[in-house]
Copies of this chain bind each other. A is one copy, B any other.
Amino acid sequence: MEKVLPNSIKLILASKSRDRKKLFERAQIPIEIIPSDFDEKSIHESNPKELVKKIAIAKAKKVIKKWNDDMGNRNIPAIIIAADTMVLLNGNLIGKAQNKEQAFQILTQLSGKKHELLTGIAIIHSINKQIRTFLDISIVQFQTLTSSEIQRYLDSSDEYIGRAGAYSLYDRASLFIDFVKGSPTNVLGLPMAKLRKELQNFNVII
């Protein structure tokens, strides 16, 4: 198994999402994780498509600063990848669940309906600041769930925690989702095939 990129430049994922990390692991792409710790609420933007892109850019910039402030890394070129994913139901943003009760409310809303997964992605070069941003949208259809099915899901798994829509497509929630239109990896927070293409603009081959 080849574990080194054919190009020597370092890839940094500006995210603490365990799903995004796993996407790189499964694709066998070596990546370093530096969470941005960016406060998403500090950005005010009413258009969701603009909002996710602006948050992604802000996250990437914060991680570039962390990277360049670290004496050991200074002048070492890196490509920072940042993303922000949100769920849209009938055009309305659905926030992340802070607790099991909120997760129950979110899943009750999603039950029997289609929703959109919206991801804004920013890629920035740490030295020359070359930047690309793009958007990906996937549609996810939930089966109709009873209250007890939702409750059982929440009681038998903690996968709702920290996840847009309070579910994880590849885990137990696969039992509820019989239709996706778009990139499945985007539903997990990063459209990997589009990312691969975009990275070619930075001469990065993954």
Task: Tell me the A residues contacting B by CB distance below 8 Å.
Answer: 1-2, 23, 26-29, 143, 155-157, 169-172, 174-185, 191-194, 196-197, 206
Contact between B172 and A193 (Cβ–Cβ < 8 Å)? no
- Please tell me which one of the listed residues B1, B2, B185 contacts residue A174 in the complex, with CB atoms under 8 A apart: B185
Q: Which chain B residue lies CB-closest to A23?
A: B174
A179-B183, A193-B178 known; A2 vs B155 contact (CB < 8 Å) = yes
- Please tell me which one of the listed residues B156, B171, B179, B181 contacts residue A26 in the complex, with CB atoms under 8 A apart: B171
Q: Please measure, in the bound complex, the distance between the C-alpha atom of A179 and the C-alpha atom of B180, giving whole angstroms.
A: 9
Residues of B within 8 A of A182 (CB): 179-180
Q: Which chain B residue lies CB-closest to A22?
A: B170
- Please tell me which one of the listed residues B23, B26, B172 contacts residue A27 in the complex, with CB atoms under 8 A apart: B172
Report the minimum CB–CB distance from A89 to chain B (whole Å): 19
Q: Please measure, in the bound complex, the distance between the C-alpha atom of A183 and the C-alpha atom of B180, giving whole angstroms.
A: 6
Q: Please measure, in the bound complex, the distance between the C-alpha atom of A192 and the C-alpha atom of B191, giving whole angstroms.
A: 22
Contact between A184 and B171 (Cβ–Cβ < 8 Å)? no
Identify the 8 closest CB pairs spanning chains A and B, nearest first: A178-B193, A2-B156, A184-B184, A174-B192, A175-B196, A26-B171, A181-B181, A27-B172
Contact between B157 and A177 (Cβ–Cβ < 8 Å)? no
25 CB-based A-B contacts, threshold 8 Å? A1-B156, A2-B155, A2-B156, A26-B171, A26-B172, A27-B172, A28-B156, A29-B175, A143-B196, A143-B197, A170-B184, A174-B185, A174-B192, A175-B192, A175-B193, A175-B206, A176-B193, A176-B196, A177-B183, A177-B193, A178-B183, A178-B191, A178-B193, A180-B180, A180-B182
Q: Which chain B residue lies CB-closest to A196?
A: B175
- Please tell me which one of the listed residues B143, B155, B184, B206 contacts residue A193 in the complex, with CB atoms under 8 A apart: B143
Residues of B within 8 A of A27 (CB): 171-172, 174-175
Residues of B within 8 A of A197 (CB): 143
Q: Please measure, in the bound complex, the distance between the C-alpha atom of A180 and the C-alpha atom of B181, giving whole angstroms.
A: 6
Contact between A157 and B23 (Cβ–Cβ < 8 Å)? no
Q: Which chain B residue lies CB-closest to A170?
A: B26
